[in-house]
Amino acid sequence: MRLLFITPALLISITFTSCNGNGGNVTKDSVSASQTSSYTNADRVATRLGDFRLESGYPAEDAINRLYDERDFQRACQVHNWALPMVGFHALHLAQRDQIGVKDGEVSLFFDLNDKKGMLTPNITTLYAFSFWDLAQKGALVVEAPAGLIAGGVLDLWQQPITDIGQTGPDKGAGGKYLILPPGSPDVKAPGYRVFKSPTAQVWFGTRGLDPEPKKAEETVRQHKIYAWADRAKPAPTNYVPVAGKPWTSAHPTDIQYFKLVAEALNAEPVQTRDRVIYSMLVSLGIEKGKPFNPDARMTKILNDAAMVGELTARANAYDKRFKGAKVWEGKKWEYANMVELNQEDSNYTQVDQRASWFYEAIGNSTGMQGRILGFGQAYLETSKDKDGHWLEGSKNYKIHIPADVPARQFWSITLYDNVTRYPVVTDQGSADISSRKDIDKNADGSVDVFFGPTKPASSNKNYIKTIPGRGWFPYFRFYGPSEKYFDKTWQLEDIMEIK
């Protein structure tokens, strides 16, 4: 007789022969673990991974090897998504240091598309300024922020904000001095400074210049001062380095290099209590604090495979979100891009899926980037599907209708990104970006129609963004300084519609 049993994890078949009335023998074959009496006599267990052979109840040698391979592969896939914010930080740090040529403590300036081609989902409209700092090597960090239209902050290795700086920070745009202490350091009395302690040694300062006049935005950003607390009596001038169109890339690797970045980043950092179970899994993958990462041929194959499957899982998690609250408006395709709490914790669990979705696509998080402050900061909406639920494709033509009076006190923008690289879509047209700061066509009622596709439709106006056939894409719609109608949802963005 043959039976089928379905469990949440396994489809397992059982084959056995009952004792006959004359005391016949039991035939041992594939059985289910749920059938204890038969399982104790099994020679073979059939699972979704194939059959596993047993010897007197012990897994046979070939079964043991396969089970350990599967365990390590599964662990590596989960580690991949868990580590996305850390790897994103580390990859950007290495890109700035080794490809752009900006040392820790110096500030890189990203002005336009040519500077941001290697960045995950950047805004094309505003000036970015970044600096990295190792608290373990360089000591406590001081950031002096100027007054003005800036918004940024200091983040730890996990891209958790230590503090916002500027409009959404404690200084509220009035400027001030911030002192960032290393993990485990004693408290410091520092009158005139806002003092924060980082949970990690590696930290990242980032800010935006929001003034609508580019020269004024740059002038304000360049007034930041970054130096070691030990040098506060006479700090050296902060060195600003324009990226100047240098080629660089910071995307997460899709092979074993991903896990090499995990090993590098973790080796220099204190172990956080919430991650101790993950650290125990890392040990079986050859990643252990204080020890070199030297995977053998077996582990190299497993980690190469896991990096690819992990990347695909992250891609599915980002573009087809299955965690609660992702939809913005009922019946529409737009989703909240950033659903990560500042400490990356929900009431009962760490937000592994939410943060994996955001940090697969983007870099950085702050109070201002959560889209929860009336009149300040940014709100990010995204979609990867048209109104009919089909993936957005570069070979098709589309249109979006943006109703009048977009609830953004500063400005709004829509920017297209490649769905594989998450970099800006770049064509001979230039940047795939339109914003209310640009010269755009408006309808008589103040609404705006924007067109997308490989060729400009005859019916379109100058609000046209070119796409690349054969490449998928997704947009971010940004509200800078979101206002009341964004929060109460009385203003709604239309879905993207294919033009047949």
Distance CA 34, CA 312 (A): 33
Same domain for 112 and 43? no
CATH of the domain at 478: 2.60.120.600
Instruction: List phi, psi (to 5°) of 50.
Output: 110, -175
Same domain for 360 and 493? yes
Same domain for 357 and 464? yes
Q: How much is the pLDDT for 452?
A: 97
Q: Is residue 42 part of a domain?
A: yes
Same domain for 31 and 124? no
CATH of the domain at 230: 2.60.40.1610
Same domain for 52 and 110? no
The count of structural domains within the chain is 3
| Length of the chain in terms of residues written | 500
Same domain for 457 and 341? yes
Q: How much is the pLDDT for 39?
A: 62
Note the pLDDT tens digit of each residue in 364-383: 999 999 999 999 999 999 99
Q: How many other CB atoms are found less than 10 A from the CB of residue 500?
A: 5
Q: Is residue 96 part of a domain?
A: no
Q: How much is the pLDDT for 431?
A: 85
Q: What is the DSSP letter of 180?
A: E
Note the pLDDT tens digit of each residue in 154-200: 999 999 999 999 999 999 999 999 999 999 999 999 999 999 999 99
Q: Is residue 264 part of a domain?
A: no
DSSP codes, 256-321: THHHHHHHHHHHTSPPPGGGHHHHHHHHHTT--TTS-----HHHHHHHHHHHHHHHHHHHHHHHS-
Q: How much is the pLDDT for 38?
A: 56
Cα dihedral 418, 424, 430, 435 sign: positive
Burial (Cβ within 10 Å: 0-12, 13-18, ≥19) of residue 216 = middle
Same domain for 55 and 161? no
CB distance 156 to 162 below 8 Å: yes
Coarse DSSP helix, strand, coil percentages of the chain, rounded to the nearest 5 percent? 25, 30, 45
Q: Is residue 329 part of a domain?
A: no
Distance CA 420, CA 48 (A): 30
Instruction: List phi, psi (to 5°) of 193.
Output: -115, 145
Q: Are strands 408-418 and 426-427 parallel, antiparallel or unpaired?
A: unpaired
Residues with Cβ within 8 Å of 195's Cβ and at least 6 positions away in sequence, in order, are: 179, 181, 187, 188
Burial (Cβ within 10 Å: 0-12, 13-18, ≥19) of residue 492 = middle
Q: Is residue 269 part of a domain?
A: no
Tell me how far CA of residue 312 lies from CA of 69, 305, 375, in angstroms: 20, 11, 37
Angle subtended at Cα 393 by Cα 392 and Cα 394, rounded to the nearest 5 degrees: 130
Is this prediction's pTM over 0.85?
yes
Same domain for 106 and 237? yes
Same domain for 368 and 451? yes
pLDDT < 70 stretches in the chain: 1-40
Same domain for 119 and 184? yes
Of the three residues 43, 59, 75, the one that is the final residue of a domain is 59
Q: Is residue 21 part of a domain?
A: yes
Pick the closest to residue 198 from 234, 246, 158 (CA basis).
Answer: 158
Distance CA 234, CA 288 (A): 40
Which residue do the tokens 């509220």 mark? Answer: 172
Burial (Cβ within 10 Å: 0-12, 13-18, ≥19) of residue 20 = exposed
CB distance 467 to 454 below 8 Å: yes
Q: Is residue 317 part of a domain?
A: no
Of the three residues 242, 261, 289, the one that is the final residue of a domain is 242
Q: How much is the pLDDT for 200?
A: 97
As given in the structure block, the two tokens for residue 426 are 């770049």
Distance CA 246, CA 101 (A): 9
Distance CA 417, CA 421 (A): 8
Residues with Cβ within 8 Å of 155's Cβ and at least 6 positions away in sequence, in order, are: 89, 161, 162, 203, 204, 206, 364, 365, 366
Structural domain boundaries enclosing 444 = 335-498
Distance CA 63, CA 152 (A): 53
Burial 427-454 (b: 16+ CB within 10 A, else e): eeeebbbbbbeeeeeeeeeeebbbbbbb
DSSP-based three-state secondary structure for 182: coil
Range list of H helices, 320-433: 352-361
Of the three residues 242, 263, 294, the one that is the final residue of a domain is 242
Q: Is residue 330 part of a domain?
A: no
Burial (Cβ within 10 Å: 0-12, 13-18, ≥19) of residue 457 = middle
Distance CA 382, CA 327 (A): 10
Categorise residue 272: left if φ over 0, alpha if ψ from -120 to 50, beta otherwise.
beta
Same domain for 421 and 359? yes
Same domain for 395 and 462? yes
Instruction: List phi, psi (to 5°) of 421.
Output: -80, -25
